[in-house]
Amino acid sequence: MRTRIAVFVSGGGTNLQALIDAEKKGQIPDGELALVLSSRADAYALKRAEAAGIPTAVVSRKEARDAADFEEKILSSLSAHGIEMIVLAGFMSILSGDFTARFKDRILNVHPSLIPSFCGAGFYGLRVHDAALAYGVKVTGATVHYVNEIPDGGQILLQKAVDILAGDTPEILQKRVMEQAEWILLPKATAMVAKRIRDEKTEK
Ligand code: GAR
């Protein structure tokens, strides 16, 4: 059976769209997008999931009593859908060490810089590109890595460099990093890990 994947989102979901398109093209042969879980009810990513016929769930951090309650709700949704692997694609909540330990080497994240630059708590979305431009680096990029208890600290799977050009704004740079790196790396890494998990099951 193909590896059942949940994609966690909080916003626009362009990385989710890249995964949906890759699955349609047969580029994730060992995985199946089985659930899209959003931390926000108004995330546009949910519309993309619905259009692709993927089941959705909303678990709001604000409506949860605390972090433990939030994660319990997520876990019960994952088990209801038989999820074996998680892809964080613009998910804006940090998961606890307890949570990440349950899915050791089964959670991926895409981060819009070359880790270890411009990463860790507080570096997300446009803030990452803002920081890269403020520092004056000439090359940035994206990283796909396993998720552990350290924000952006898990083992790196794939990275790709992207040039910074004169006149870049955070918005322009974000778009270039997505087009030239994130949307390519994330489906590729997802396919790799889905295959590894499927192979582990058949070996048993
Ligand atoms: C992406 O650039 C992703 O790398 C970033 O948020 C954006 C989500 O866009 N994630 C982080 O900054 C995580 N630290 P999307 O919703 O269009 O995929």
- pLDDT tens for 104-141 read 999 999 999 999 999 999 999 999 999 999 999 999 99
Distance 203 CA to ligand 1 centre (A): 35
Half-sphere exposure of 8 (CA within 13 A, CB side): 24
- pLDDT tens for 18-49 read 999 999 999 999 999 999 999 999 999 999 99
pTM over 0.85: yes
Mean per-residue pLDDT, 143-171: 98
**Ligand 1 pocket mutation, candidates 91, 171, 182, criterion most atoms within 8 A of CB:** 182
Domain 3-203, what fold? Rossmann fold (3.40.50)
Strands 156-163 and 139-146 come out as: antiparallel
The answer to whether residues 173 and 133 touch, using CB atoms and an 8 Å cutoff, is yes
Domain ranges of the chain: 3-203
Task: Reply yes or no on whether the pLDDT at 204 is more than 80.
Answer: no
Q: In whole angstroms, what is the distance from residue 1 CA to residue 22 CA?
A: 19
Buried b (16+ CB within 10 A) or exposed e, 70-99: bbebbbebbeebebbbbbbbbbebebeeeb
Whether the bond into 116 is cis, omega within 30 of 0: yes
> What is the predicted pLDDT for the residue at 5?
99
Distance 175 CA to ligand 1 centre (A): 11
Protein residue whose Cα sits closest to atom 7 of ligand 1: 90
Distance 22 CA to ligand 1 centre (A): 18
Beta bridge partners of 21: none
Give the per-residue SS3 of 54-107. CCEEECCCCCCCCHHHHHHHHHHHHHHCCCCEEEECCCCCCCCHHHHHHCCCCE
Of the candidates 162, 154, 147, the residue with the CA atom closest to the CA atom of residue 108 = 147
Q: What is the DSSP letter of 155?
A: P
Identity of the amino acid at 110: V
| Percentage of the chain lying above the pLDDT 90 cut | 98
Q: In whole angstroms, what is the distance from residue 179 CA to residue 138 CA?
A: 18
> What is the predicted pLDDT for the residue at 203?
82
Mean per-residue pLDDT, 169-190: 98
Average pLDDT over the chain reads 97
